[in-house]
Amino acid sequence: MTYLRPTAWLLNSLLALASVACSTKDTPAPEQDQLTKVSYAQTQCADKWGQVRTTQQLETVAAAYLAQQGITLSNPKATAPSAPGLVCHACTCPTGTVLVGEVPASQLAAIQALGFTKL
């Protein structure tokens, strides 16, 4: 009977250890940064990434420039105006083309400093 007591203690200790070692906590994955929609009105020649002619070039060149600045622009889409607007040839005048995309909320302030606005 005296051999039974240490054996029972050893067996219970091993079972307790096994139950603690095998339990896994369900830790929630860190929340992904929410995406925020932003837009940019293209200018005649005052854009940070230089002058581009087509909406496809604008999407590509702007996204590449922003990537160099550490900003991720997701789903960039540029739309050209359907009808000519006001005639203005100053460098800072808008062309009517608007670039829309999404950025992580953590990068919103940085992209707004480059002239983008939150939608």
Secondary element (H or E) of residue 36:
strand 35-43
* pTM value surpassing 0.85: no
Is the model's pLDDT at 113 over the cut of 80?
yes
In a domain, 68, yes or no: yes
With tokens 């005048």, the residue in question is 93
Q: What is the pLDDT of residue 118?
A: 97
In a domain, 91, yes or no: yes
CB of 86 closer than 8 Å to CB of 79: no
CB of 113 closer than 8 Å to CB of 73: no
In a domain, 67, yes or no: yes
Determine the structural domain holding residue 110 and report its residue range. Answer: 47-118
In a domain, 58, yes or no: yes
Report pLDDT digits (tens) over 33-76. 799 999 999 999 999 999 998 999 999 999 999 999 999 999 99
Domain count across the chain: 1
**Neighbouring C-beta atoms of residue 36, cutoff 10 Å:** 18
